[in-house]
């Protein structure tokens, strides 16, 4: 029988935290624990929510006053937090060597590669790619010229994966780009899709007729970062609002909404948009049960947005732009629109409000798809196979 592995996870982000990257880190760690492995997480000083008691978590000793939990790169993190995280990881590996280091996202792999330099025992590093930098970095650095930012992002996309011992990607779309466009050898890249807590959403009733006691509700859950393209969602909803007398947009958000409120007011939608704080994960099924349609307005996502998987697991009829819905089929598991086409998005929202048979069919098909393909236990099984392929067999 194969021995348990000692796995050190690098989370250069708040952990745990209710958004995409930290959720993948937590769920894969839990699923690897379920398979009998030892898992240690080296992460920032920040976190929100409970982690599995079986996890060993090593945090930064000093946060240096940094309290922002918003996603994306920043000078403060790169200068103050990530070097400290590399030192923390290095001391953890020196104290108790690991079989493998599982590093998430670009900052995580930079930390891992820096930490293992010069160590007597250098475990292999797996780089878990949630998205390519060329897709997201321009949205975080919108105050800089797009061309140079994208070229810098492509440089990182091209060079960092080559320095890891193996690369895992959340979608085939990312794997295909790493191999076909960026030249990474195919044997060094594996796809390990995100999972979703299907059973957690089992209580959400199937989509059905509208509740005549309240307005039809369109729901978005997540953070208000620029890459989410809430500007496009608001533009589409403004067009819908002119055609439907009572439709309501619910935005359940984790983050600063001041600029968003200004845009809502400028569009004359203050009475039609319900801005709410993000709910804890335990309460997410109840929130999704209120939604008649779920919206995913991102236009560029190489990975699969966690919100999209949650919508599917809850059986919600979905409208999404095609560029941020890998694995979703138009007319079968959602309605998809060309990226940035807000006329199409508004029309699709209206169609699902008015055609509840179509809404029910799409929601049921989406739930069935994730039930078949998106279990965290399956992701952990794939990860274990990759990790064992990198770890030298024990002597004797």
Is a pLDDT exceeding 90 seen at residue 19? no
| Residue 245 phi, psi (nearest 5) | -70, -20
In which band, very low, low, confident or very high, does the pLDDT at 393 lie, cut at 50, 70 and 90?
A: low
Is a pLDDT exceeding 80 seen at residue 256? yes
Interior/surface letters 56-94, b for 16+ CB within 10 angstroms, e for the rest: ebbbbeeeeebeebebbbeeebeebbbebbbebbbebbe
Joined tokens for residue 270: 């203050």
Ramachandran bin of 324, using left for φ above 0, alpha for ψ from -120 to 50, beta for the remaining angles:
alpha
Cα separation of 85 and 66, whole Å?
A: 13
Q: Provide the pLDDT for residue 125.
A: 97
Range of lowest pLDDT (44-48, 120-124, 178-182): 120-124
Q: For the chain, give the mean pLDDT.
A: 92
Asked whether 192 and 168 are in contact (CB, 8 A), the reply is yes
Q: What is the mean pLDDT of residues 298-309?
A: 89
Range of lowest pLDDT (135-144, 186-195, 196-205, 217-226): 135-144
Residue-wise DSSP of 236-268: HHHHHHHHSSS-EEEEEESS--HHHHHHHHHTT
Cα separation of 181 and 217, whole Å?
A: 41
Please list the residues that pair with 38 across neighbouring strands: 6
Q: What is the mean pLDDT of residues 72-78?
A: 79
Q: Which residue has the higher pLDDT, 174 or 146?
A: 174
Residues 6+ apart with CB under 8 A from 263: 231, 234
Asked whether 38 and 7 are in contact (CB, 8 A), the reply is yes
Ramachandran bin of 188, using left for φ above 0, alpha for ψ from -120 to 50, beta for the remaining angles:
alpha
Residue-wise DSSP of 195-208: ---GGGGTTSPPP-
What domains lie within the chain, and their CATH numbers?
Answer: 6-194+375-390 (3.40.50.2000), 198-373 (3.40.50.2000)
Is a pLDDT exceeding 80 seen at residue 22? yes
Three-state SS for 98? coil
Cα separation of 285 and 99, whole Å?
A: 38
Q: What percent of the chain has pLDDT over 90?
A: 75
Please give the DSSP secondary-structure letter assigned to residue 356: H
Q: Provide the pLDDT for residue 255.
A: 84
Q: Provide the pLDDT for residue 279.
A: 93
Cα separation of 171 and 193, whole Å?
A: 6
Q: Provide the pLDDT for residue 396.
A: 47
Element (H, E) at 43: strand 38-43
Residues 6+ apart with CB under 8 A from 32: 7, 39, 380, 383, 384
Asked whether 43 and 13 are in contact (CB, 8 A), the reply is yes
């Amino acid at each position: 029988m194969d021995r348990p592995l000692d796995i050190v996870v690098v989370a250069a982000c708040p952990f745990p935290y209710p958004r995409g990257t930290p959720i993948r880190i937590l769920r894969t760690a839990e699923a690897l624990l379920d398979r009998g492995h030892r898992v240690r997480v080296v992460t920032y000083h920040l976190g929100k929510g409970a982690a599995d008691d079986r996890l060993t978590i090593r945090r930064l000793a000093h946060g240096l006053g940094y309290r922002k939990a918003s996603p994306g790169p920043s000078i403060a993190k790169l200068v103050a937090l990530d070097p400290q995280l590399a030192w923390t990881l290095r001391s953890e590996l020196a104290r108790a060597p690991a079989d493998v280091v599982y590093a998430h996202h670009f900052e995580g792999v930079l930390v891992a590669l820096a930490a293992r330099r010069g160590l007597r025992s250098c475990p292999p590093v797996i780089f878990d790619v949630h998205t390519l930098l060329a897709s997201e970095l321009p949205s975080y650095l919108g105050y800089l010229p797009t061309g140079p930012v994208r070229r810098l992002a492509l440089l990182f996309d091209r060079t960092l994966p080559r320095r890891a011992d193996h690369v895992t990607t959340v979608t085939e779309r990312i794997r295909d780009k790493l191999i076909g466009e960026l030249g990474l050898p195919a044997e060094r890249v594996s796809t390990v899709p995100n999972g979703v807590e299907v059973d957690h959403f089992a209580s959400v009733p199937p989509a059905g007729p509208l509740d005549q006691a309240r307005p039809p509700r369109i729901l978005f859950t997540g953070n208000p970062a620029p890459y989410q393209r809430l500007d496009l969602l608001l533009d589409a909803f403004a067009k819908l609002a002119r055609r439907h007398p009572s439709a309501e947009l619910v935005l359940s958000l984790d983050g600063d909404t001041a600029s968003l409120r200004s845009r809502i007011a400028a569009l004359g939608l203050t009475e039609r948009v319900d801005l709410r704080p993000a709910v804890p994960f335990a309460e997410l099924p109840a929130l999704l049960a209120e939604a008649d349609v779920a919206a995913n307005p991102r236009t560029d996502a190489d990975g699969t947005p966690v919100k999209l998987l949650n919508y599917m697991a809850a059986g919600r009829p979905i409208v999404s732009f095609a560029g941020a819905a890998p694995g979703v089929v138009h007319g079968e598991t959602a309605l998809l629109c060309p990226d940035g086409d807000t006329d199409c998005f508004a029309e699709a929202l209206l169609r699902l409000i008015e055609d509840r048979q179509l809404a029910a069919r799409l929601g049921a098909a989406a739930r069935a798809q994730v039930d078949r393909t998106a279990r965290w236990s399956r992701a952990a099984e794939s990860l274990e196979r990759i990790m064992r392929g990198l770890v030298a067999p024990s002597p004797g």
